Amino acid sequence: MKNSNTQLVDFFVEIFSEEIPARMQRKAVSDFQDLFCHELSFHGIEHESAKAFITPQRMVFKANIAEKTKNISEERRGPQTKAPDKALEGFLKSVGLKKDELIIKNDYYYASICTPAKDTQPFLPNILEAVLKKMPWPKVMRYPGSSLPWVRPIRHVVCSFKSLPMAFDLPYLGLTTRPYTIGHRFLSPNRISVTNFSNYESALEKASVILDHTKRRTSILNQLTDLASQKHLTLNANENLLHEVTGLCEMPVTYIRLIDAKFMGLPQCVLTTSMTHHQKYFSFLNEKGDLAPCFGVITNNTPPCVDKMLKGYETVLTARLSDAMFFFDNDLKTPLIDLLPKLKTVLFQDKLGTIYNKVQRLLSCADDDNLKQAIQLAKCDLVTLMVGEFPELQGKMGSLYALKQGIQPEIAQCIEDHYMPQGAKDNLPASLLAKKVSIMDKMDSIVGLFGIGLKPTGSKDPFALRRQALGIIRIVLTDDFLTFDLNPLIENIIRQYESSGIALEKNTFDQVRTFILERFYHYMRDFYQHDAIKAVTNIAANSSLTLCLVSKRIQAFSQFSKTEQGENIQQAYRRAQGVCDDAPNVLVVENLFQTQEEKTLFDSIVKLEKQVQLSLDQHNYNNVMQNLEQLQKPINKFFENVMVNVDDDNVANNRKALLHMFISEVRKIADF
């Protein structure tokens, strides 16, 4: 919060460079703002209304900042009063005080240090330098005249304080700040004098530069919507493309042009991919919801020869679609299954062989004809002409080709769906068949890459194994895989690798199993508390990997542990574990019971065993929890009235064995 006595003044910086890649802009502008705010706070400079802006050529930070830094008072602890004189001398030197200026508290010397307020302006060049040097660009380049690597060469820097330009050297850039900027590179490349930020922003807009990314995005969206409405069309909105083209222009101008009708017979995904991924064009839908023979183009210029420019856009798209039509027609002439041998030319991983080898491993794990056919066809479109030109269409084209070649629809759809899910929020495959192929495909990649030592480390995961593990987990948590155990699949895939002559690390199974459990834990953390997850996964760590059942146990246990009965059972369980840690593994002998509490607890456990096992067999974990409640009173009475560690070793060990029975019964559902 701003001090009421502090006067805030206008401050802004512009970094003008060659074009910043659009894909980097959204993160860059956030980092730029955060770094400036951090540096201002670090130097004790109060600020408010901080905001950063980005266009293809400029990054701007503006804020209202204090004219002076804060008065800072701190109390610094020194050595003990009994410490050697040299220790005290060193402390006095570090704080710049004399001994009689120190304060003694609790047998320690303390120095009261007051840093008076200073003018803000001298700090600003250093703050700017710190921000520029700390910017975390994913890729940078070096260029003549600058010792500072940057995303693109910086051409000038403007810095304004109190509505006046600041002049200072930037030796690390080979530049000196200047009191003016320039407008749009093509439409208004004239100098613009710099004063306060408000005047700067309005002057830029007059010079054909919309500084605010959101305003540019809104302008593009409104222009496209208006143009579509005039032709009775609807914009086929693509949020990623909208953000990308917003980062490609400073003053967007939109146009609608026509697509030759002969291309409209191509699959819609081919048309939209050609337009969106390669040309950055927008598509439109007609009143029936079908793709319209039009495309929307965004430009950063309005040259005198605009018609010639737009004709060029049409020519480029026509060439791409002509290629696509040729690819499509030729691909259809070859049955997908005939392309399977060609997968021998597509490398999966240098040490793990080709995609063809991967398909053969998956076939060896398949147990029915439909699954085998789906696996055989799943990767065949990778060697089609269309996917060779448009990699984004892998899976989609295979599915389309399969349908046109008379393949069963479920198997055809599996070719596209087996790549799903590709993210935490992506849809799951629609059919059980596609889910099976997806699990097998992803697990083959995880096992193989772990087996040759290419597992994820820290934040690095070049083969997206965490994402693939999450995909497997999300699929097996559906009811289709209620009792599906991942352990045999992992073991089978390891055998297939080894039988094909690929040696994997000896502990591959344990590594993969642990990795899957870790990713499962992180996924569950979005829904349940840490203690509930660990209590159940502690059991799963040494048993079958039926994650759907484990998730249902976690859900039931999480609800149970929040009740009073659940808390009491957990406390009794932990107490029993503490008593029995060093107990010998012996059977309970009823004749050694000396109290009614022992007899009651034993009878309750024996009675409960069958009920719990029946509920476990039926996967009814809520019933298991309700059954466990029956042990609350007997175990509490036992601890209240029975001494476990008595002098008679036989009686003591028998009572510990009884507690072992209790522990074993609870551990059937959780180990906490």
Helix ranges (H only) for 379-507 are 385-389, 396-404, 409-417, 432-451, 465-476, 486-499
pLDDT at 651: 87
The values of phi and psi at residue 292, to 5°, are: -85, 150
CB 316 within 8 A of CB 254: no
Torsion, Cα of 31, 33, 38, 40 (10° steps): 150
pLDDT at 654: 86
pLDDT at 1: 43
First and final CA of the chain: distance in angstroms? Answer: 46
**What distance in Å separates the CA atoms of residue 429 and residue 603, rounded to the nearest whole number?**
49
Q: According to the 3-state scheme, what is the secondary structure of 433-466?
A: HHHHHHHHHHHHHHHHHHHCCCCCECCECCCCHH
Question: What is the distance of C-alpha 522 from the center of its chain?
Answer: 12
Tell how many helices (H) and how many strands (E) occur in the chain: 25, 18
Question: What is the distance of C-alpha 518 from the center of its chain?
Answer: 16
What's the CATH number for 8-69+120-206?
3.30.70
The DSSP line for 276-322 is IIIH--EEEE-TTSSEEEEEEEEES---TTHHHHHHHHHHHHHHHHH
pLDDT at 470: 95
pLDDT at 671: 76
pLDDT at 644: 85
pLDDT at 4: 47
Query: What's domain 563-667's superfamily in CATH?
Result: Isoleucyl-tRNA Synthetase; Domain 1 (1.10.730.10)
The segments of the chain whose pLDDT lies below 50 read 1-2, 4
- Indicate the SS3 state at residue 602: helix
Is 480 exposed, middle or buried (CB count within 10 Å of its CB: 0-12, 13-18, 19+)?
A: middle
CA distances from 470 to 146, 446, 517, 595 (A): 44, 11, 10, 52
The DSSP bridge partners found for residue 156 are 16
Q: Do domains 8-69+120-206 and 563-667 have the same CATH topology?
A: no
**What distance in Å separates the CA atoms of residue 657 and residue 663, rounded to the nearest whole number?**
10
Question: What is the distance of C-alpha 399 from the center of its chain?
Answer: 29
Q: Which amino acid is at 426?
A: D
Which residue ranges make up each domain of the chain?
Answer: 8-69+120-206, 73-115, 213-332, 431-561, 563-667
